[in-house]
Structures are given as structure tokens and as C-alpha cells.
Amino acid sequence: MSTFLAILLAIAMLSTLVVLGLGIVSMLRRSGNPPGETSNKLMRYRVLLQAIAIAIFALIMMLGRH
């Protein structure tokens, strides 16, 4: 179970990193209508993925206590 959660955590962290990179690139290009709409959406997804990664990490820490 802990191996599964560790893999899930790694996937969540890598996904967060990828979305962050895409958001930064989108922000630099200033593309979309209106400008910045795509980067704002990507940054919202980043926050969501970051929250998921933190929740998985907290779950791993709680399970590690017992």
C-alpha cells in the first residue's frame, strides 16, 4: 500500500511540475483571448494538483505512524 501511495505521490508531483512549466511558458507567450486566460487556467490546475500531492503526502505520513 505504501509503495502504491509513493508512486501516486511521484505522479502527482511530476504532474504539478509539468503544469507549472506549461503555465509559465503560456504566460511568457501571452497567447489566448483574452491574453493570459490559458496561463491562469493552468495555474489553477497547478494549485489543485499541488493540493492532491500534499494530501497524499499527509496520508503517507499518517500511515507511517502506525
The full set of domain ranges for the chain reads 19-65
CB atoms within 10 A of CB 19: 20
Mean pLDDT of the 35-55 span: 89
| 56 against 35, higher pLDDT | 56
Helix (H, G, I), strand (E, B) or coil at 66: coil
What is the model's pLDDT at position 23?
A: 86
Give the whole-number percent of the chain exceeding pLDDT 70.
Answer: 89
